[in-house]
Structures are given as structure tokens and as C-alpha cells.
Structure 1
């Protein structure tokens, strides 16, 4: 029988020198090894190490308190993965150690190398806490009830990445979260936000918006960013100038012209790096004076980025005479005496 092989048994060594040490320790035990009579010999210990076979009468037909007393190598050798799958309720009820649970997980991983079926996922219970994001990535979850039950189990247990992957797999399979479930997600780090539809993002609590970091927005669509930007403006509207800018900055790539003018009206300035993230359609209508006020002390940085969007689009839409007033030597504006005839797309 092939052992689980997830991690070496803590009582069975993996090297020759360690095996010799283990033999000296084991040879002093008064109780015979399972399946052997008399004190352990070097040969019997080596055979046990190599074979790890289940001894007669030790293969359980059901999970009960006796199995809890099995040594880890016995669990590996004697407990069948199909029995575990059929007995997940007992796995959660009985006081198995973390090491024993890892052996059980390894057996189930071997039974389902391509990912657990939903029939098993729905019965994992607290065994879900043993899962990694990589495990969950293999799953096909279609039941909202399963998602909800696993969210309840995960609360307060540092399962943010696992929960994010669970939501991602559910949505990727065509599942639709409801507003109540979105509310339940509020207790986890918002790694999951890019998995929610723009409509559901409207139900996200403001407390979640406060926890969002720039890296959490990577992978969001423009529609998702639009929804999050509206939520962020609402959540941060009562902050003072510098605090507001700090919190709203990750969302500014979805700001409108009026939003930028609002920043100008609040005497808030951005650097050219942030300017380059803005939508050309939002930046282009700004006057030269408004651009000067938006950049503030960062205005000299504009000269080195005249070829970057949206700065390029802004420059070619402005009279050269207005650009000259900046004193930066920026060229490319509308020559004096010409009109900018804007033709709608």
C-alpha cells in the first residue's frame, strides 16, 4: 500500500544516521511493535519503515474514538480515503490532531488529484480550514449554500486568501452571489473584490472600502473600478484634504473631469505619475490654469512626460500661447491663429 507521503512521520527518520538513533531509542521500549513479538530488532524496525503495512484487525470500518488513538503511520496505512469521504462529519467531531488531519487531507488529495467534487466540498465543515488557495483553485463550486457555509466556518481564522479563491471559483463557474453573502464577506480582507459584479459591488459595506489596498484592485475591470470609485468617494467624503487624496488616489483612474476639478477646488495636488493614470477624456478638458493648479509644485515634472498619455492628448488640445504661459518650454499645442475644431466620434 502506498503511503500518503505528504510529510515524513515525526517518529520515523528519513536518513541513515537518524534511523540508527531511532533504532537505539525504539530498542529500549518494552512494548512490542504492532505485528511483531518480542523486543524490536533492527530488521523489524527497518521492515516497518519500508513497508508501513496495516496490521491485521487494524483497518477501521468506521471512524470512532479508537481511530483517534492510532499512530500516524497507522492512519496512513490503515484508513481508507473512501471511508474519510463518507465520514467527514465524524472527522470534524472527533479530536484528531493537526498532524492526523494532514494525513487525512493527503489521502483525499490522492483520491481526487484534480480537485474535490462538490459532493465532498459540501461536507468538509471545519476540515475546510486545512485547505490552501491552491487546493480550492481546482474546485468547481456551483452551490451558493456551500459558499455560505464555508464563509461561516472561515470567519476569524485568517482564511482571507482561501475565501477569495472560493468566491472566484464560484463566480467563474457562473454562480451569482446575493447581497447577503456580500455582507458576510465584509469580515475578510477584500482580496475578492475583483470577483464581484459591478452590481454587487454596490452592496459592499463602506468598512470594506476602507480596507482595500491598491494591490486588491489589480485585475478589476473598468466597470468594477467605476463601481468601486463611486463607493470610495462616498466612504471618504468626510476626510480632510490630504487624507482624502491618500485614500482616493488608487481609484482616480476612473475620475471624471468634474472630479478632477473638485480636487482643484479643495487645493489638492497630484504628481505626474498619478496624472498618467487618469483617463484622457477626463484630463483633456482641463484648462492650462487648472492643470497648473492640479499639479502644483509637481508642474515641472510635466516637461519630461509630454509624449505620455493623457498628457499628449491634453497638450495638442491647448493653444500654444496658453502652454507658453507655463514657462516649461512645452511644444505641440495649437498654433496661434488656428482653431481647434472638435469633431465628435
Structure 2
């Protein structure tokens, strides 16, 4: 099937709704970037794909295609439901915009967001995304990726969510690093011992020279 898809795209054919429906999610995840770019964006309005098991690169490309496909409806409440299967490839800027639209994102979608996008969200933006589902965030605070997100947030901002999140950074916190000092000498212990043994004789010689002079 993969070889057939490559031949189909190689002939200059766009991956329309009929082709995508025949391919299915399983084989869409096997397409390379060039083949994914051959997807005709409007075709995503007619098929149902679940790219959650695809690579991050595939998710990123499919999200851009979906955003283009549904852009005409981006001001409508239904827009979120149309793009939600593809949000695993959404950049931070788009998630920040969605946080203002009362989308009530569920946690199963939130934890599969692109990692770099999720980590750049503020507590207020996460609250905007999750909406009524915000209390569920507390149930994930000790699990990845929520645990990592909490660690880079100010605790004072997390406290404003009033759901009991802990583990954020404290105001004025200083990360102390214990310095490592180099060894006093890299000389072998035997050499150092002999040097200390000869020290009295050396001092005596210097004293005699001082008296005779």
C-alpha cells in the first residue's frame, strides 16, 4: 500500500478525500513530508483522520492542512471541534488564541499537545483552554507532561488557579550550585612525601648560607 501511495503521489496526483479515505490513518502516518504536502486541504473536510499515533512532523503538517481547510469557520464555535483531532501539531500561538474562545479542552487532548507548545503556555492560558475541565489538571500534576509544565511556572501564578497545584518555582528562588574545587596538586603522593622529607635540610642550607654571608 505504501508503494502504491508513493507511485500515486509521484505522478503528481493530489491526495484528495477519496484517496485519504482509502489510505486511512494507518498509512497516512507512513507518508513522508513531501507526500503529506500533496494532501488537498479541503479534502480534510470530508474525511476523518486520527493522527495521534503519527510522528510529530506528520502532526505538524496535518495541523497546518486542517487549519487551512477549516479557516473559513475559525470564528465559529464549531471550528474547535473540527480541528481538535489535529491539535497535536498546533504551534503555541494558535493554542494561545484558542484559550480566549472558551473551548473547554479535555485533558486527553491537552496532554497530547505538542510539547514545546504546551510548555510555553501560562497558567492563565491553560485555564482558558481547559475551562470547565480545569479541576482535572490537578489529577495530572504528578504525571508527564503536566509535571514538567508545572515546574517551569511561578507558584504564585499556579495558586491563582485554586486547584491545589504545587511544585512551581518560588519568587526569588536561587538555584545554588556547589562549586567543585580542583585538587591542590596533581603530583603523585610519593613525590609530595619526598618533597616534605627534604624540606628541613633545604631550610637548614638556606640558614647556613645566610650566616656565612
Q: TM-score, normalised by structure 2?
A: 0.69
Matches within 5 A, 1:295-334: 295-334=130-169
- Mapped pair 1:187 → 2:53: no
CA contact under 8 A between 1:284 and 1:314: conserved in structure 2?
A: yes
1:304 offset after TM fit, Å? 0.5
**Among candidates 91, 108, 114, match of residue 279 of structure 1:** 114
Q: Which range moves more in the overlay, 276-285 or 187-196?
A: 187-196
Aligned pair in 2 of structure 1 residues 309, 279: CA closer, same or farther (>3 Å)? Answer: farther
- Mapped pair 1:233 → 2:64: no
Hey, what does 1:143 align to over in structure 2? none
**Among candidates 81, 92, 95, match of residue 260 of structure 1:** 95
Take 2:65 and 2:11, find their aligned partners in 1: how far apart are those partners? 15
1:268 offset after TM fit, Å? 2.6
- Mapped pair 1:223 → 2:57: yes
- Mapped pair 1:178 → 2:10: yes
CA contact under 8 A between 1:179 and 1:200: conserved in structure 2?
A: no
The alignment of Structure 1 onto Structure 2 pairs a total of residues equal to 170
Hey, what does 1:98 align to over in structure 2? none
Matches within 5 A, 1:100-119: none
CA contact under 8 A between 2:153 and 2:168: conserved in structure 1?
A: yes
Take 2:113 and 2:169, find their aligned partners in 1: how far apart are those partners? 22
Hey, what does 1:87 align to over in structure 2? none
CA contact under 8 A between 1:241 and 1:266: conserved in structure 2?
A: no
Take 1:221 and 1:301, find their aligned partners in 2: how far apart are those partners? 27
1:265 offset after TM fit, Å? 3.1
Hey, what does 1:242 align to over in structure 2? 77
Deviations 1:72-96 (A, max 9, x none): xxxxxxxxxxxxxxxxxxxxxxxxx
CA-based RMSD: 2.4
Return 5+ residue gaps in structure 1 as ranges.
1-164, 341-345
**Among candidates 26, 30, 46, match of residue 211 of structure 1:** 46
Deviations 1:173-200 (A, max 9, x none): x8583263335x5424141433432222
Return 5+ residue gaps in structure 2 as ranges.
176-213
1:235 offset after TM fit, Å? 0.5
Q: TM-score, normalised by structure 1?
A: 0.45
Aligned pair in 2 of structure 1 residues 284, 224: CA closer, same or farther (>3 Å)? Answer: closer
Take 2:159 and 2:54, find their aligned partners in 1: how far apart are those partners? 39
The structure 1 segments of at least 4 consecutive aligned residues displaced by more than 4 Å after TM superposition are none
